[in-house]
Amino acid sequence: MAVFQSFVLPPKSVWVCWADNSNYWKVSPMQNSRYSQKAELLEVCWLQIRGTFDTAALDKDTTWSIVCLLKHNDSATGLHTPAEVSVSQKDGTTICSRKVHLNPGSVDLIQQEGEEWLALEVGRFQPAGVSREITFNLLDGTTHWKTGLVFAGVEIRAVST
C-alpha cells in the first residue's frame, strides 16, 4: 500500500455549498499550476466547504494537517466575520474546532513560500487515534454577502515534528 506525504482534494472532490449554481461560484480548470481547479466565489451569504476522506493510506503514526488553499481577488468583501473550521470523526465526534478569519490580511491565512496561495489550517489529527473516515468543515453561516474568495482545494499534509 502506498503511503502519502500529501495529497490535494480539488474543489470538485469536496462539497462547496452553492458551487453547482453559476450565480454563486465559478469553477474552472487552472493552467500552469500544481492545482487542477479553482472555485471563485462570486457571491454567497452562506459559505461552507466540507469534505470527507479515508485515512487508510496515511501513515498511522504521523500527524496530518488539513489545509484549505485560498486567495482573494480584488473584489473580496464580506469576509470580516469569524468562520469556524473543524475536523470530526465519522460518528460526529469533534477532533478539533476553532474560529478563523478569511478576510485579506488575516493572520489565519499563511502565505506559502513561493506561491500566490494562502494556507488556512483547518486542523490536525493522527490516524492511529481516530476513526478511518475524517470530515473537515469550513463554515461562515452569517447572513451578509461574501465575495472574492478563490478556493483551490484542500491539502492533507504530513506535519514535521
How far is it, in rounded angstroms, from Cα 74 to Cα 85?
24
For the cut 90, the answer to whether the pLDDT of residue 43 exceeds it is: yes
Other C-beta atoms lying within 10 Å of the C-beta of residue 32: 4
Kindly indicate the confidence band of residue 80, based on its pLDDT and cuts at 50, 70 and 90: very high
Give 15-34 pLDDT, tens digit per residue. 999 999 999 999 999 888 88
Under a CB-based contact definition with an 8 Å cutoff, are residues 152 and 27 in contact? no
What kind of fold does domain 6-158 have according to CATH? Jelly Rolls (2.60.120)
What pLDDT does 23 receive? Answer: 95
How far is it, in rounded angstroms, from Cα 87 to Cα 92?
9
Mean pLDDT value across residues 42-55: 95
Q: Where are the domains of the chain?
A: 6-158
Residue bearing cell 481516530: 130
- All cell numbers assigned to 8: 490535494
DSSP conformation letters of 64-77: EEEEEEEEEEEEEE
The pairing of beta strand 118-125 with beta strand 47-54: unpaired
For the cut 60, the answer to whether the pLDDT of residue 142 exceeds it is: yes
Mean pLDDT value across residues 29-58: 92
What pLDDT does 4 receive? Answer: 60
How far is it, in rounded angstroms, from Cα 108 to Cα 111?
10
How far is it, in rounded angstroms, from Cα 136 to Cα 90?
11
E strand residue ranges, the chain: 6-9, 15-16, 25-29, 37-41, 47-54, 64-77, 83-89, 94-100, 110-111, 118-125, 133-140, 147-158
